[in-house]
């Protein structure tokens, strides 16, 4: 049996098919808006229940390392350590601004320190996922950079396949 014999030929069959397609599309559109409306109520209920002031809001994740500017400083007596770490961070997409010995000349213990300002907490969190367990130090800087200060117990960055996401 041919398609023309089943549906018929001419404009009557064509208009029935067109009406069927339009009806299906309208039903799908109505289902979409019903789901959207229901989700707005669910989100409103979740937001109203989490007004506790004791739990700080989780900062938004920086979308990519390309948006993060880092300065890499060596706080050890190992020559070239900051340059090697800076090259690895650059390979991962971070924007490396400065590579030098620690300008503060502080005694750094452990793996190292991440120094950051008020506006770069999310950036520091992203760098922390790549560097491992560095001590975080918030300072009064206004610029949006993160200082990676490599300490004496530092051996290597976290493997790229082990870096956690937000």
Among 53-62, 143-152, 157-166, the range of highest mean pLDDT: 143-152
Banded pLDDT at 36 (limits 50, 70, 90): confident
Considering the segment(s) 65-162 as one domain, its CATH architecture is: 2-Layer Sandwich (3.30)
Distance CA 109, CA 134 (A): 10
User: pLDDT at residue 44 above 90?
Assistant: no
The pLDDT value recorded for residue 52 is: 41
State mean pLDDT over 52-67.
Answer: 59
Spans of all domains in the chain: 3-49, 65-162
State mean pLDDT over 29-47.
Answer: 79
Better-scored residue on pLDDT, 45 or 95? 95
The pLDDT value recorded for residue 53 is: 41
Report whether 130 contacts 159 (CB < 8 A).
Answer: no
Better-scored residue on pLDDT, 64 or 100? 100
Banded pLDDT at 163 (limits 50, 70, 90): confident
Rg from Cα positions in the chain: 28
pTM over 0.85: no
User: pLDDT at residue 55 above 50?
Assistant: no
CB burial of 123-150 (b: ≥16 within 10 Å; e: otherwise) equals bbbbbbbbbeebeeeeeeeeeebbbbbb
Distance CA 148, CA 123 (A): 12
């Amino acid at each position: 049996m041919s398609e023309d014999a089943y549906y018929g030929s001419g404009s009557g069959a064509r208009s029935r098919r067109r009406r069927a397609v339009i009806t299906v599309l309208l039903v799908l559109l109505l289902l979409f808006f019903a789901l959207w409306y229901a989700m707005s109520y669910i989100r409103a209920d979740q937001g109203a229940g989490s007004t506790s002031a004791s739990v700080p809001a989780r900062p938004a994740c920086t979308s990519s390392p390309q948006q993060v500017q880092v300065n890499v400083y060596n706080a050890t007596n190992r020559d070239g350590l900051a340059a090697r770490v800076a090259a690895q961070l650059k390979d991962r997409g971070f924007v490396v601004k400065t590579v030098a010995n620690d300008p503060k000349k502080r005694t750094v213990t452990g793996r190292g320190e991440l120094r950051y300002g008020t506006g770069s907490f999310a950036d520091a969190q992203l760098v922390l996922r790549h560097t491992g367990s560095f001590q975080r130090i918030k300072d009064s800087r206004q610029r949006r950079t993160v200082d990676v200060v490599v300490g004496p117990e530092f051996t290597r960055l976290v493997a790229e396949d082990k870096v956690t996401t937000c």
